[in-house]
Chain A
Amino acid sequence: MDALLTLDRLSVDYEVSDGLLSAVHDVSLSIGKGEIYALVGESGCGKSTIAHTIMRLSIDHNEKVGGQICFGGKNLLDLSDSEMEKIRGKHIGMIFQNPLDSLNPVYRSGTQVAEALALDGLSKKESRERVIELYRDVQIPDPEERVGSFPHELSGGMRQRVMIAMMLARNPELLIADEPTTALDVTVEAQILHILKEMRDLYHSSVLLITHNFGVVAEIADRIGIMYAGELVEEGTVFEIFENPAHPYSKALLSALPRGHKSEGRIAAISGTVPRIMDKANQCRFYNRCPRAGESCREGSPTFLSLSETHRVRCHPEGI
């Protein structure tokens, strides 16, 4: 499959008072055209940092970014701010967890979507019609009415639809969705996931889905990357990961999900907490919580082991 986006040994470090905090370390992955790639992990694992770095949204100057982000034959990290401005929205669109933070409260929702279209040089009348069409695509009822609604007049699900419409307005090749359904009710979540899937089929966009919800992943992802403490620890197709997780962390995470009733047995909790990684400590980052940790795990960070053409895991052979 042709890769649309490739991360090559991406790392992000933050300068903090007591040294360098490693937020993302040595992450390499690629997303194909029309593919839904889910980056999964617990809070603080670096998944949102990756999304923000791809979009070059981090404004802090105390960060150090290493590696490459290749998109459309260019390394996004080399682009000037004005060149990056042309990529954002037009080629890579992004939606966030809380749509209310992304919408301007004093403008009508339709106006804000039309703003995106104006960038592509559509006239007022054309863009109004296009906005209504987009609202219809994301299944907003009474689109003619709704373009005139202010964000506070819309429910959470409707706002997220407006955000998706705004993103689709410019038909980007890659959509980055950062926890798009976390703030929504389950019935609404199901509707939004359905729309994301349909949009992928309709526009052949690729999606980088960032989430901690394995249910959402099982529902729509093609491939999964599991992150732990800033590192990609396992990658595979959704079936490989769910049926045959290899990394001790992936295994533990999947068995910590409540599935059945307590009478069928307790779920297995992972003891301990995620460590704060300073100055690239030279050992496996899961070492202190790993049930299978051995001496070799302290001697350098493990490298990737290939289990199939699509399935790879960052662990020593004796760990899996």
Chain B
Amino acid sequence: MEPIIRIQNLDKRFLISRRLFSRKRKVVDAVKDFSLDIYPGEIVGLIGESGSGKTTLSRLLLSLTPASGGSVTIGSTNLVTAKRREIRAVRSRFAVVFQDPASNLNPRQTVEHSIMRPLLIRGMDKKEARQRAREALDKVQMAETYLAAYPHQLSGGQQQRIAIARALVMEPDVMILDEPTSALDISVQAQVLNLLLDLQAELKLTYLIITHDLNVIRYVSDRIAVMYMGRLVEIGKTQEVLENPSHPYTDILIHSVPILDPLHRDDEKRLFPGEPGEVPDCPAACRLAPRCPHVMEKCLTSQPPMLEVSPGHLAECFLLEQTV
């Protein structure tokens, strides 16, 4: 099957001043050598801690920020090198839903206006746009009466449904969901996750779900991609990655999440020293080297390659050279 999005060796560097007014700049690799194919109809969960580059990656996919290198291919268009008009044509196949629904809706416009706006910008006439807004609202299981409501009259869960409706109205193929349920309560999170799964099945959508919540990823995604400091460190089928984590970071991440059963509370915990963001001294070193419990000599001087654990399950670690 042809991938719907093909990301190859994508790089994004930011230059940061070391001090205020200083000319000296520090290079930060927010996304480094990132490759991932996303296939039509699948749900890929991208997990990582803060600062791992998850959100930068989603911004690159939407061409909201220019890439420093590599390519993002959708159909025959490479977003990194394409002209603005070509990007716009491809972008209509994408929709995005962000974490905080309240900040994404215009507080002074009604729900109907917010949902219709992207259609009107595209030149659709008002009557048709109104009809489409109605259908979208129906898809997210909200009554038509909410069309006249303002965002502040809605609960967090309802606001997130509106944000989803607005994404759906453009009839996208791919939805990028950046922490779609992090701001929601447990009972509402369950409603929204189930709604997203229903929509995906009904409309044959492809999802890239970005989150730091392992339980959410485990529930919804078909494949998991683990990111650490800008790099993809492990990718594979959800169950396989969770049962057989092959990168030390994935392993620690899984074992850091509290288990929802007090009977297992005394199970051996793998406390992971340090915090995300500790940069190794040598730029070529594995990014995890300063925190890794299995660090070896060569990890400090060279970047481990992506190795296959089993078909479709890959991890970027020297430890696998011994086992593979």
Instruction: Write the residues of chain A forming the contact surface with B, with a CB cutoff of 8 angstroms.
Output: 42-43, 155-158, 185-191, 193-194, 212-216, 218-221, 238-239, 242, 252-253, 256-262, 266-271, 273
A185-B276, A218-B261 given as contacts; is B49 within 8 A of A252 (CB)? no
Find out whether the CB atom of A261 lies under 8 angstroms from the CB atom of B189: no
The docked-state distance in angstroms from the alpha carbon of A187 to that of B49 is 8
What chain B residues lie within 8 Å of A256 (beta carbons)? 186-187, 189-190
A261 touches B239 (CB 8 A): yes
* A215–B188 alpha-carbon span in the complex (Å): 17
**Contact assessment for B275 and A155 in the assembled complex, using a CB-CB cutoff below 8 Å:** yes
Of the stretches B4-12, B64-72, B210-218, the one at the interface is B210-218
Question: Is B149 in the interface zone, CB < 8 Å from A?
Answer: no
Closest Cβ–Cβ distance, residue B44 to chain A (whole Å): 14
Inter-chain contacts of B194 with A (CB < 8 A): 266-267, 269
Beta-carbon nearest neighbor of A240 in chain B = B262
B-to-A contact residues, CB < 8 Å = 49-50, 155, 157, 185-191, 193-194, 197, 212, 214-216, 218-220, 238-239, 252-253, 256-265, 269, 271-272, 275-277
In the complex, the chain A residue whose C-beta lies closest to that of B252 is A187
Q: Does B262 lie within 8 Å of A259, measured CB to CB?
A: no
Measured between beta carbons, the chain B residues less than 8 angstroms from A266 are 194, 197
Interface pair A193/B186, CB less than 8 Å apart: no
Number of A-B residue pairs at CB separation under 8 A? 123
B177 CB to closest chain A CB, in angstroms?
15
- Which residues of chain B have C-beta atoms less than 8 A from A252's C-beta? 187
A189–B256 touching, CB < 8 Å = yes
Point out the residues of chain B lying under 8 angstroms from A214, CB to CB. Answer: 186, 260
User: Which one, A186, A190, A221, A242, contacts B214 given CB within 8 A?
Assistant: A186
| Chain A residues, Cβ within 8 Å of B188 | 42, 269, 273
Q: Which residue of B lies closest to A155 (CB)?
A: B275
One of A158, A186, A194, A261 near B257 (C-beta < 8 A) = A186
Please pick, from B185, B189, B258, the residue contacting A218 in the complex, using a CB distance under 8 A: B258
Return B249 CB to nearest CB of chain A, in Å: 9
List residues of chain B with CB within 8 A of the CB of A187.
Answer: 49, 252-253, 256, 272, 275-276
Are B262 and A191 in contact (CB-based, < 8 A)?
no
6 contacts between A and B (CB under 8 A): A42-B187, A43-B185, A157-B275, A186-B257, A221-B262, A252-B187
Contact B215 A259 (CB under 8 A): yes
Closest-by-CB residue of A relative to B272 is A187
Q: State which of B215, B220, B262, B276 has its C-beta within 8 Å of the C-beta of A262.
A: B220
Inter-subunit contact B157/A270 (CB<8 Å):
no
A212 to B191, CA, bound (A): 17
Contact partner, B185, options A42, A188, A215, A259, Cβ 8 Å: A42
Closest to A194 in B: B271
Additional A-B contact list (13), CB under 8 Å, known A215-B257, A259-B218, A262-B220: A43-B185, A186-B257, A189-B258, A190-B256, A190-B272, A215-B259, A218-B265, A242-B261, A242-B263, A261-B219, A261-B239, A262-B219, A270-B191
